[in-house]
Amino acid sequence: MVRRIRLTAVAATAVASLSGACGGGGSGTSPTTTAAPRSATTTTIAAVATNAVTVKDFAFGPRTITVTAGTTVTWTNQDDFDHSIVDKTTNVEGPHFGPVTEPRTFSRSYPAVGAYPYFCGIHNSMTGTVIVTS
Ligand SMILES: [Cu+2]
Cα of 58 to ligand 1 centre, how many Å? 6
Fill in the DSSP letter of residue 83: B
Per-residue pLDDT of the chain (134 residues; tens, 9 = 90+): 444 444 333 333 333 333 333 444 444 455 555 555 565 566 655 545 589 999 999 999 999 999 999 999 999 999 999 999 999 999 999 999 999 999 999 999 999 999 999 999 999 999 999 999 99
At 30 the pLDDT is 52
Cα of 122 to ligand 1 centre, how many Å? 5
Using a pLDDT cut of 70, give the percent of the chain over it.
63
* Upper half-sphere CA count for residue 26 (Cβ side, 13 Å): 4
Intra-chain end-to-end CA distance of the chain, in Å = 27
33 CB-near residues (< 8 Å, 6+ apart): 22
Residue 112 in 3-state DSSP? coil
pTM over 0.85: no
Contacts 24+ apart (CB under 8 A), 20-26: none
List beta partners, residue 69.
none
Cα of 11 to ligand 1 centre, how many Å? 33
Cα of 120 to ligand 1 centre, how many Å? 5
